[in-house]
Every structure is written in structure tokens, then in C-alpha cells.
Chains A and B, each alone.
Chain A
Amino acid sequence: MKNEKTQVDDHGQKCYAFPNKPTPGMPVVIDETKCTGCNKCVNICTTDVLVANPEKGKPPIIVYPEECWYAGCCVAECPAPGALTMRHPLMMRVHYKNKETGEINRV
């Protein structure tokens, strides 16, 4: 049962009056266990989709996701393999077909 007075849900999460996030919301996904917080991605991004974490050494923060141009320069620059993955938004995922079997898949 929800605690109506403090707006906390069953999992103890506070419920905020967030506006809708712009779409797409996460052009790059950061694996925080691998990210070293070096900010090379922040430096290379041409539109400042990512900003440096105010706390030094912590992963960067995606503040302007809707401005991403999907160049992937951030991923190319990242020195920690797997820490940063670029993801095209769902409506841009292209299909391909196995020439032999005819099986159709999506990237």
C-alpha cells in the first residue's frame, strides 16, 4: 500500500512530478561498473549530450539526449571497453535477411 502522505511507493521510491523526457532518452548507455569517469566522451561529443559529473571520477551524465547526432565519437574515444554503448532509438532499427535461410532479424 502506498504511503500517500510522503509520495513514496511500495519500493520506497519517492514519486516525482517529472515532465516527459524528450525522445530518445538514452542515446548512449553507460555501464557504471566499467566507466572510469575520465570524461573523454564528454570532451569529444560535438553537441554536449553528455556533461561531466560534478563529482570527480564518477560517470558522466546525459543531459541533452535529444541533441545526439549518433556519430558514435564518444564510444570510439572511450578507453574502457564496454563502458559506453551507442544505441539507435527503436524506430531506427533496421532489418536484415539471411540470404540462405530467409530468416529476418533486426539490428
Chain B
Amino acid sequence: MNWEDVVRESGKPMEWPYPVRYGVVNDVDVDVVVLGGGPGGCMAAISAARKGCTVALLDKAYPKRSGGGSGFDHWLNTPNPASNITPEDCVEWEAVTYKGYSNSLSRYIAAREAYDTLLEIEKMGAKVRDLDDDFKGAPFRDEKTKFVFCYDYENRFQFRVWGATFKPAIFNECLRLGVQVFDRVVATSLLTEGGKQGARVVGATGINMRTGEFYIFRAKATINAMSCHQTSWRFSTESIGLDMFKPNITGDGPAIMWRAGVELAQMERSRAAVPPGYEYPSYGTGNWWNTWHPASMVDANGKEVPYVDAGGNVVPVEERCRPRPGQKFIAERSRDPQYSKPTMLPDLADRIRKGEFVLPLYADLAGMPWYERKVIWGLMVGNEGRTKIPVLLNYAAAGFDAQRDMLQNYFTLSGEPYPSMDATLALGPYRMEAFGNGGEVVVDWDLRTNLEGLYAVGDAILAGNYYYHACATGRYAGRKAAEYALKLNDAPSIDTAQIEREKTRVYAPTERKPGKDWIDWKELRFAGARAMQNYCGGLRNEGLMKTGLKWIRDIKEEHYPETYASNPHILLRVLETYNILTIDEVILQACLARKASSEVLGHFRQDCPEIDPPEWRKWVTIKQADGETNIGELPLDFHGNLAGNYEAHNPDYKGYMKKKP
């Protein structure tokens, strides 16, 4: 039943079903606190616990399925015994594809340790091999190890895995190691020495989203595993959840970092997107992207829509996951001809308009070799997030049979959750925050931020992306944070005034009455999204962005202080809204600071029309000091010598890539 049924049955409004404990304080003392319990956060907690630290892990939800918990399908960029690909190769394709705007530092760390991480998670109980011999004889299977691969069947460094088994296994290991789990506790701020912005981090505060009680985590080391910012441009007051990214990724991480004086970079990066609420179930339409690659496509009359390689040659189904002659390897998301996979014709939309292909298109799994059909519909769709129950099982229950039926594609009709081939979309107001590889926290070779005692993992890292990267950097940052914490003798001291200030901020929405105009968090978020669409959309200039910044600040300063929270759940939504508005301000300031247009960053300025001028090939950094915004810059190759730096920072690490002493 829903709330309306309850009212009908009982004749009265429903009371909040959990105890409400606003202002009740819980003190937690640990060596390491991990903020965010996705795969990266859990791996960090495991790593720190194994080093002998006491660890607290907090998460907005229950970490068994939170973060990337419902599943994933491919584990990328992993040198392994079935492949000749090196960590340098794994870094190279992204650096080339994104013209230097990729974080080679964290990518290199991840590639060095991804195979060790995968085997470790396998030991925890996740399924990473075809032990049931479902794919025996398939060209993507390594018969010796029983690993199955995707995208490039010759170079074999991108694994297909049963990702829905990962998160429960990883979380279970956290519990087994005695990690103290605080589920439904959301971090609200970092605690710093003396309460000062930019000082050493000594823990964090949090709030329980069901009871509203307050948490003080005192810790020697703190790990930011709170993902990225995702919801600045797109919001629907009704279909909040009908979006590609989880509605609970609201940029709490970067907003909290920003308030504490942590250095962020690349916050001006974004890309075109479809408006919210227009999606079909992710991976639940016939398509040729990502999870569904290399699904055969046909038009309404059964005419095949060909795959072509970067040279324009038609590629038959057997060759779609093999490099073309002379190509080094195929990398999953690369659109650079050096690494791109065969895909649909680049002018497909035009050809459809001219009648060469009749709408709608369909994915014809039935016409594919058995192993491709079975791996797409069963392993990939079935393990990727939101596919097992919502698509694989529900579609079967509704009568869909991949051996007999073709699933309709909605791509050229718009609405498919991937970027449209319609180029005019890029000029529109709806943007999204880069789909991974976005702006976030700057880290060093210990995955430490500019603040002592604070580390970052996964998508919380500048240009972070992917499950393998979250797990490998989590495991690494947990190790580094533990090494740091274990060197300290005394627990750090906490500034009580800082805590009192945060308590006042957090509970303010519960203490006021609804304003006379009843502006609530949804209206604030809608207004913030509109400001970003209108003043920081597909085409920008200084005047526009300054107006946008003024509007966001007006919303934050005039209207936010009137926003009322009637229960702890709504309190969280109100606090998230404050964080989103905070990130909007950061984005606008970063966009104003980059006085150049950039293709990769999706930043197009009328007043600086030259695209990617050489003097702007650098990251713009942004942080607060004494409440003022400081803009800086960082060379794209700030990582320096990859192998040399990695070795220097990890002399004692043993693993697959360091078998030889």
C-alpha cells in the first residue's frame, strides 16, 4: 500500500514510522572513517581494517546494495595473465581519447592493482569466472582461466563479470573484519583541526536519515568515497528517480570537500544530456552501446543496420570485438579512431531521415551467434546495475524471449539514456556532469587530497570513473590512510565550536515553520536546475554566467533559509539541495575562470570562441581559503613519471604486476 491507502484505512495522516531524535549526539572514535559505502568505500574500509585499524563506514543506504550495488557488467583496464596489455596502455587510451583531460595518476594506480583487486574480491565470494562453463568455446573466453572478456577478444583486458554478486560479497567482508557500519548515516561536514578551513582533517559529522540523530566521527584519517556531483542541470519534481544516475548521488561529497577547503579541479566539465524523466529502462531497450555491444541491429523491415569501423568498413558480427588491421587495441569508451570499436554509421540519423532505414530499429539478438546472444542477454543485461529484476526477469515474465524476439530501439526517436546522435542536442540547455571523468578532488600518489589526513577514492577523485577504478583506488587509499593513521599516537582533538555550528546548520530546516509561500526542496532544486540550464548551458559567456551565479546565490541566501523539513527523510533532501546549490556555485565559478572554449570539457564560450587554445591545456583548480574562492591551475601531466612514482610510493607492495622482487 502507499500513503494514500494508509490514510483511507486509518482515517488520519501517517506518523513518521521511526523514532525522531533530532539533536541526539553519538560519538564514534576510530582510526579511519570512510564516508560513503559504495564499492570504493567498502574496499577502503576492508584495506584499512586488514592493516589493523579500527574503521567506521557510513552510507546513505545499506551498503549491501548501495553505491554500484545493484550490479555492473564490465571490469575494465586490467592487465592480466591472458593479456599483453600494460598499465601504460590502460592509461594511454584515455589520455588520447580525452586529449589529456584524464587522471593518469589514479588510472595508473588502478591498472597496476586491478587484477589483484579482482582476485581479492573473488575470494570474498564474487563470481568473476565462467566456472559453470556457460560460455565454453566462446571466442571471448580464456579456456585456461575461464575468464570472459568484452570489447576486444584478442587483447583481453576488459573483463565481463557477474557484477551483481560483487557488492554483497564486499560488504560481507567489511562485516567479517569488524568494520563498524553506520547505514543511513549521511556525512554532512569534515572536521578540521581548530575548526579551520584548509587544516588537517580529524573526522566528520553525519546525520541519520531516518531518525535525524547526529554523529561525530573522530578519526586519525578520513576517506572521501562519496562519489561525484550529478544533478545540477536536470531535475523533475515528479520522476526524480527516472534518471540514469542514482537520485542519491547529489554532490554531497564535493560540497563537503569545498566547505572544508579541499582542492577540486575540472568542475567546468559537462556534456549534453536528455532532459530528466524521458528515459526508458537503462539497458532495457535494444541498442548497440556499452553493455549491448556488439548487438546486431535491424530496421522495421528486417534490413541490417551495419556496424562500421573507424575507416568506414562494414564489420560482420564475428569481427566486431577484434581490432581492425593495424589497430593496437579496442578500448570500451574511446571514440578516438586509434582505440574505437566498430559501431553504427556516424550519419545513421541522416540515413534514417532519407528513408534508407525504416523506423523503428530493433536489436536482433535472435540472429546472433549463441554466445553473443547469451552473454548480452543474461550476463551483461542481468548483471549491469538495474537489469536483473527490472529488465532480464521482468521482460521474461512479460513474454520477451531473446531467442525469438527483437527488442525495440528508441534511440533515434529520442529518449534513450545515451547521448543522441542528434548534434543539435549539444546546443540545448540540458547538461550532465561528464558521465564519469568529471571534476572532483585533486589527489597525490597516496590518493591524499591537499588536506592532511584526507584521502579520496573512486568517483570522488578528479576524473574518476568505473567500478574497477573505484575498487582498486579504494583498496589503495585504505592502505595509505591506514599507514598514516597508524603512525599517529594520539587521537586528534575536535573543535567543539565547529560541531555546534554544524548542528545549527543541519537542524535549522526542522526548527522553522513552513514559509508563507511554501517553497520546498523540490522547488529550490527545480529553480537551481533552471538557473544552470539558462545561464550555464550549451553556449555561455561571462555576463550569462555571472547572472547565473547571482541567481544561484539568491536562491541559496534568500529562499533556502525558509525551507522547512517535516521529517528526517525530507531533512536529508533539503540538506542535499543545499549541497547541489553549493556545487552550482562552484561550477559557475570554474566556468567563469576558464576563459576559453573546450571540446573535451563541453565548455563553449561566445566570448572566447577559440576551441582548446594551447595556453589553456591545463586543469583549472578551485578551492576555498578563509571563505574566499581561490582559482589555480594544474598541469594535465601533474602525475609525472607513472612507473617511477608508483614504485617510489609502493616499495613494499606485492601483487601480480610485482611478482619479481
Interface residues of B: mostly helix, strand, loop or mixed? loop
Interface assignment of B315: CB less than 8 Å from any CB of chain A = no
Q: Which of A16, A61, A75 contacts B1 (CB 8 A)?
A: A61
**Contact flags (1/0) for A35-65 with B, using CB distance below 8 Å?**
0000000011111110111100001011111
Contact A100 B404 (CB under 8 A): yes
Interface assignment of A83: CB less than 8 Å from any CB of chain B = no
Interface assignment of B306: CB less than 8 Å from any CB of chain A = no
Task: Give the number of A-B contacts (CB < 8 Å).
Answer: 165
Contact B246 A70 (CB under 8 A): no
Which parts of A60-79 form the interface with B (CB within 8 Å)? Answer: 61-73, 75-77
Residue on A with the closest CB to B1?
A61
The docked-state distance in angstroms from the alpha carbon of A48 to that of B280 is: 22
Q: Which of B2, B62, B247 contacts A44 (CB 8 A)?
A: B62
Q: Knowing A51-B17, A70-B281, A71-B65, say if A96 contacts B386 (CB, 8 Å).
A: no
Q: Which of A24, A43, A71 contacts B70 (CB 8 A)?
A: A71
Contact A43 B62 (CB under 8 A): yes
Interface assignment of A89: CB less than 8 Å from any CB of chain B = yes
Contact B386 A65 (CB under 8 A): no
Q: Knowing A23-B239, A47-B241, A88-B281, say if A71 contacts B385 (CB, 8 Å).
A: yes
Q: Knowing A24-B239, A61-B6, A70-B241, say if A98 contacts B404 (CB, 8 Å).
A: yes
Q: Which of A23, A46, A70, A95 contacts B61 (CB 8 A)?
A: A46
Chain B residues with CB below 8 A from A45, complex form: 61
Chain B residues with CB below 8 A from A21, complex form: 2, 4
Interface assignment of B569: CB less than 8 Å from any CB of chain A = yes
The docked-state distance in angstroms from the alpha carbon of A55 to that of B200 is: 47
Contact B406 A59 (CB under 8 A): no
Residue on B with the closest CB to A78?
B389
Q: Knowing A46-B246, A64-B569, A66-B241, say if A107 contacts B404 (CB, 8 Å).
A: no
Interface assignment of B285: CB less than 8 Å from any CB of chain A = yes
The docked-state distance in angstroms from the alpha carbon of A53 to that of B14 is: 10
State how many angstroms separate the Cβ of A55 from the closest Cβ of chain B: 9
The docked-state distance in angstroms from the alpha carbon of A47 to that of B237 is: 15
Residue on A with the closest CB to B365?
A99
Interface assignment of A3: CB less than 8 Å from any CB of chain B = no
Interface assignment of B359: CB less than 8 Å from any CB of chain A = no
Contact B15 A54 (CB under 8 A): yes
Contact A71 B247 (CB under 8 A): no
State how many angstroms separate the Cβ of B513 from the closest Cβ of chain A: 20
Chain B residues with CB below 8 A from A81, complex form: none
Interface assignment of B366: CB less than 8 Å from any CB of chain A = yes
Q: Knowing A94-B285, A98-B405, A107-B394, say if A44 contacts B64 (CB, 8 Å).
A: yes
Which parts of B357-393 form the interface with A (CB within 8 Å)? Answer: 360, 362, 364, 366-367, 385-386, 388-390
State how many angstroms separate the Cβ of B438 from the closest Cβ of chain A: 20
Chain A residues with CB below 8 A from B69, complex form: 46, 73
Contact A47 B248 (CB under 8 A): yes
Residue on B with the closest CB to A100?
B404
The docked-state distance in angstroms from the alpha carbon of A24 to that of B399 is: 23
Interface residues of A: mostly helix, strand, loop or mixed? loop
Residue on B with the closest CB to A13?
B8
The docked-state distance in angstroms from the alpha carbon of A27 to that of B400 is: 21
State how many angstroms separate the Cβ of A52 from the closest Cβ of chain B: 5
Contact B241 A94 (CB under 8 A): no
Residue on B with the closest CB to A25?
B2
State how many angstroms separate the Cβ of B237 from the closest Cβ of chain A: 8
Contact A62 B238 (CB under 8 A): no
Chain A residues with CB below 8 A from B11, complex form: 14
**Range of interface residues on chain A?**
35 or more
State how many angstroms separate the Cβ of B367 from the closest Cβ of chain A: 7
**Contact flags (1/0) for B396-407 with A, using CB distance below 8 Å?**
001110001111
State how many angstroms separate the Cβ of B637 from the closest Cβ of chain A: 38
The docked-state distance in angstroms from the alpha carbon of A73 to that of B62 is: 11
**Contact flags (1/0) for B1-20 with A, using CB distance below 8 Å?**
11111111001001101100
State how many angstroms separate the Cβ of A62 from the closest Cβ of chain B: 4
Interface assignment of B616: CB less than 8 Å from any CB of chain A = no
State how many angstroms separate the Cβ of A21 from the closest Cβ of chain B: 6
Contact A68 B18 (CB under 8 A): no
The docked-state distance in angstroms from the alpha carbon of A51 to that of B17 is: 7
Chain A residues with CB below 8 A from B285, complex form: 94
Residue on B with the closest CB to A68?
B241
State how many angstroms separate the Cβ of B20 from the closest Cβ of chain A: 13
**Contact flags (1/0) for B341-365 with A, using CB distance below 8 Å?**
0000000000000000000101010
Contact A96 B2 (CB under 8 A): no
Interface assignment of B526: CB less than 8 Å from any CB of chain A = no
Contact B389 A75 (CB under 8 A): yes
Residue on A with the closest CB to B300?
A97
Contact B2 A65 (CB under 8 A): yes
Residue on B with the closest CB to A87?
B394
Chain B residues with CB below 8 A from A98, complex form: 404-405
Contact B398 A107 (CB under 8 A): yes
Q: Which of A44, A61, A63, A94 contacts B408 (CB 8 A)?
A: A94
Interface assignment of B210: CB less than 8 Å from any CB of chain A = yes
Contact B242 A92 (CB under 8 A): yes
The docked-state distance in angstroms from the alpha carbon of A18 to that of B377 is: 43
Chain A residues with CB below 8 A from B238, complex form: 22-23, 66
With A22-B237, A96-B407, A105-B398 already in contact, 13 other A-B pairs whose C-beta atoms are closer than 8 Å? A48-B61, A59-B1, A61-B3, A62-B3, A63-B14, A66-B238, A69-B243, A76-B65, A88-B390, A94-B410, A96-B405, A96-B406, A107-B400
Q: Enumerate 13 A-B pairs (CB-CB under 8 Å) in ascending A order.
A: A14-B8, A46-B61, A66-B238, A70-B386, A75-B389, A76-B389, A89-B242, A94-B281, A94-B410, A96-B406, A96-B407, A107-B284, A107-B395
Q: Which 9 A-B pairs have the closest CB atoms?
A: A72-B389, A46-B61, A71-B70, A107-B398, A62-B2, A69-B241, A73-B65, A68-B241, A96-B405
Instruction: Give the A-binding residues of B (Cβ under 8 A).
Output: 1-8, 11, 14-15, 17-18, 60-62, 64-66, 69-70, 184, 209-210, 237-243, 246-248, 279-281, 284-285, 302, 360, 362, 364, 366-367, 385-386, 388-390, 394-395, 398-400, 404-408, 410, 569
